[in-house]
């Protein structure tokens, strides 16, 4: 009995220590960032970042840039992720499927800064794509692919175990069986997509090599020289100007809330699947 209570006590203390950093971080963000957002109001979400010492302004340009890059990265990575996951699930005993799974697992741990440098060399320098949202989205899509793929694999495997034999016993063709497996595993696939978007929305390192550091440009064409919220935070946080520091705190809170909402939605879809 005493041993059980000791184990419970140690587990409780460990849980508290686990959440202390997160609680402290969230508290600091709320204390520093919330007043900035309330002071700026809607203008903070739609306005242009200010000049040094010239008021509060907003983060409209970089928020638009982050959303644009997340959309383009999703359009690139989602089809690749789903097709890769389907191949691995349907042919998981094959050599090529095993190699694909190894590469996907390895890419999760791959340094994102290396991905940013690689995209810069290949697309920005050699292919002359330039520093813009498309270059940033390509880098972010590479980061997103393994997260979306792994989540899709786990859920599609469950659907395969349940419906593969059923589908073939009913005389369905291969394409119809695949459609059935995708249909039944769709919530897990959506969960993976949300996790992937949440991951790339807060990525900073790739944007330092693929986008500009001019923060006052709205998106006019697909190749407009834009950047994202993390890049603005990185540059403004080290500034000696108080108004830029305030903008960085407000942007950091917006970014944290966005990522938290996306992860919460992912958890909701996971629970629905269970």
**For 57-98, how does the pLDDT look when each residue is reduced to its tens digit (9 = 90+)?**
889 999 999 999 999 999 999 999 999 988 888 888 788 888
Q: What digits encode the pLDDT tens for the residues 151-194?
A: 888 888 877 766 666 666 666 666 777 777 777 777 778 888 88
Residue pair 228/210 in contact (Cβ under 8 Å)? The answer is no
- The DSSP annotation for 28-58 comes to HHHHHHHHHHHHHTHHHHHSPPPPTTS----
Mean pLDDT of 196-219: 89
pLDDT band at 29 (very low <50, low <70, confident <90, very high): confident
The rounded mean pLDDT for the chain is 85
Domains of the chain by start residue, with CATH: 22-273 (1.10.3720.10)
């Amino acid at each position: 009995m005493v041993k059980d209570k000791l184990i419970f006590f140690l587990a409780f203390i460990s849980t508290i220590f686990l959440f202390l950093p997160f609680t402290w971080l969230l508290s600091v963000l709320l204390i520093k960032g919330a007043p900035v957002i309330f002071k700026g109001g809607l203008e903070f979400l739609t306005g242009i970042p200010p000049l040094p010492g010239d008021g509060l302004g907003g983060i409209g340009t970089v928020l638009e840039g982050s959303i644009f890059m997340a959309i383009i990265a999703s359009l690139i990575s989602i089809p690749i992720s789903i097709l890769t996951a389907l191949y691995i699930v349907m042919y998981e005993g094959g050599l090529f499927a095993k190699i694909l799974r190894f590469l996907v697992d390895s890419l999760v741990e791959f340094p994102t800064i290396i991905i940013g440098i690689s995209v810069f060399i290949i697309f920005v320098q050699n292919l002359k794509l330039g520093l813009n949202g498309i270059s940033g989205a390509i880098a972010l899509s590479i980061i997103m692919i393994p997260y979306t793929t792994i989540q899709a694999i786990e859920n599609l495997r469950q659907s395969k175990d349940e419906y593969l034999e059923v589908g073939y016993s009913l005389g369905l063709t291969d394409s119809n069986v695949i459609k059935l497996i995708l249909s039944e595993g769709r919530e897990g696939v959506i969960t993976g997509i949300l996790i992937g978007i949440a991951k790339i929305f807060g990525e900073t390192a790739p944007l330092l090599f693929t986008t500009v550091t001019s923060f006052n440009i709205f998106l006019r064409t697909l190749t407009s020289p834009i950047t994202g919220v993390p890049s603005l935070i990185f540059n403004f946080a080290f500034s000696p100007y108080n108004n830029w520091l305030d903008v960085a705190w407000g942007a950091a809170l917006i970014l944290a809330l966005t990522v938290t909402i996306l992860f919460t939605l992912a958890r909701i879809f996971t629970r629905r699947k269970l």
